[in-house]
């Protein structure tokens, strides 16, 4: 059991959509992390509450999934509710029914919708027409549930979030975007080290820097991974080729070849750095086997924390 000394504040998230962490305050994000830790501790002692008795989560998947599907489904069951797996190809959505109509219909059947999709515009349209909460399981722009699990893991490993330095090495993708926002909101410094042309979205970076200025932290974008990891408390990476980018795979391997997190790179970080990866991982590409399977890797603790932050989020929203 992990003991975290954080004051829990009442969160007013009932009925809210969860599309991006940019929509939530620092207190709300920290509160979710604290609640997740409490629920994790309760699961160890057998005191797990079941506040969602009779509640149903509809889960729409346009992308394949391991951690998102299992953590949400298991989380709902552990909280006393039920989850419905809805593959987009099995819904009328796959045959041309509009997002708006799908949202209106599902709002009559379930208590919330979680969707894992490609375009962020899809989830925005879904939330516009749904009369129930919509949760972002992943889009091309954001992965907020993953970022919550990342914060919980860093807090467990380091004891606090404020003042920590996180370096993300790799593609400036949805994971990088949510990490920047989440970290800026809680007072962590973030450096994103990406190849030229693969940096995070400029508008999202600007927004994250505004949040960082408000919290007293900083965000740095660099094309030099060795410079990026200097003084890092945590080093994070992701696959070089995300789903939907398979045609770019060989080109990306060449572009990212100097951005592998390996034994040479981590020598420039703090000695007690923690390694993080949202998984699935490609050993020998974005990370060496020695790092991801080494003693400073927390990737499976991080993956396990997806369950606890999902439960915290579901219990607050529902």
Sheet containing 56-61, strands listed edge to edge, beginning at the edge strand earlier in sequence: 82-87, 56-61, 112-116, 134-138
Cβ neighbors of 1 (< 8 A, separation 6 or more) are 41, 44, 45
HSE on the CB side for 223, CA within 13 Å?
6
- Determine if residue 167 is labeled as part of a ligand binding site: no
- Determine if residue 95 is labeled as part of a ligand binding site: no
- Determine if residue 153 is labeled as part of a ligand binding site: no
Active site amino acids: 116, 143, 146, 238, 278, 306
Which residue has 């830790």 as its token pair? 37
- Determine if residue 92 is labeled as part of a ligand binding site: yes
Enter the tokens of residue 209: 């820097």
- Determine if residue 67 is labeled as part of a ligand binding site: yes
- Determine if residue 242 is labeled as part of a ligand binding site: yes
- Determine if residue 144 is labeled as part of a ligand binding site: yes
Identify the H or E element spanning 292: helix 289-292
- Determine if residue 49 is labeled as part of a ligand binding site: no
Which residue has 């999202």 as its token pair? 204
- DSSP assigned state of 201: P
CA distance 2 to 21: 25
Residue 167, classed as helix, strand or coil, is strand
- Determine if residue 252 is labeled as part of a ligand binding site: no
Which residue has 């820097």 as its token pair? 209
Residue 15, classed as helix, strand or coil, is coil
- Determine if residue 87 is labeled as part of a ligand binding site: no
- Determine if residue 195 is labeled as part of a ligand binding site: no
Which residues belong to the annotated binding site for carbamoyl phosphate?
Answer: 65-68, 92, 116, 143-146, 278-279, 306
Which residues belong to the annotated binding site for L-ornithine?
Answer: 174, 238, 242-243
Which residues belong to the annotated binding site?
Answer: 65-68, 92, 116, 143-146, 174, 238, 242-243, 278-279, 306
């Amino acid at each position: 059991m992990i003991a975290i000394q954080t004051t829990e504040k009442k969160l007013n998230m009932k009925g809210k959509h969860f599309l991006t962490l940019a929509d939530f305050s620092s207190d709300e994000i920290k509160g979710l992390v604290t609640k997740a830790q409490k629920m994790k501790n309760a699961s160890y002692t057998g005191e797990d509450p079941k506040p969602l008795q009779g509640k149903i989560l509809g889960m729409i998947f346009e992308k394949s999934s391991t951690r998102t599907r299992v953590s949400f489904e298991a989380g709902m069951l552990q909280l006393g509710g039920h989850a419905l797996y809805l593959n987009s190809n099995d819904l009328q959505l796959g045959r041309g029914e509009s997002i708006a109509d799908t949202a209106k219909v599902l709002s009559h059947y379930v208590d919330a919708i979680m969707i894992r999709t490609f375009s962020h515009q899809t989830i925005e349209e879904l939330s516009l027409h749904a009369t129930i909460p919509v949760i972002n399981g992943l889009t091309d722009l954001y992965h907020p549930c993953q970022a919550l699990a990342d914060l919980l893991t860093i807090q467990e490993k380091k004891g606090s979030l404020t003042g920590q330095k996180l370096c993300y090495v790799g593609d400036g993708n949805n994971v990088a975007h949510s990490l920047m926002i989440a970290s800026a909101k809680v007072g962590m410094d973030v450096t994103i080290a990406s190849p030229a042309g693969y940096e995070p979205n400029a508008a999202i970076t600007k927004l994250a820097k505004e949040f960082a200025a408000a919290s007293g932290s900083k965000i740095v974008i660099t094309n030099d991974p060795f410079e990026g990891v200097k003084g890092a408390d945590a080093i994070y990476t992701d696959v070089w080729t995300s789903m939907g980018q398979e045609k770019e795979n060989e080109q990306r391997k060449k572009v990212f070849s100097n951005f592998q997190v390996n034994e040479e790179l981590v020598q420039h970080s703090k000695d007690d750095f923690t390694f993080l990866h949202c998984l699935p991982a490609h050993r020998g590409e974005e990370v060496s086997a020695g790092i991801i399977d080494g003693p400073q890797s927390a990737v499976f603790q991080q993956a396990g924390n997806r369950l606890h932050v999902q439960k915290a989020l579901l219990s607050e929203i529902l």
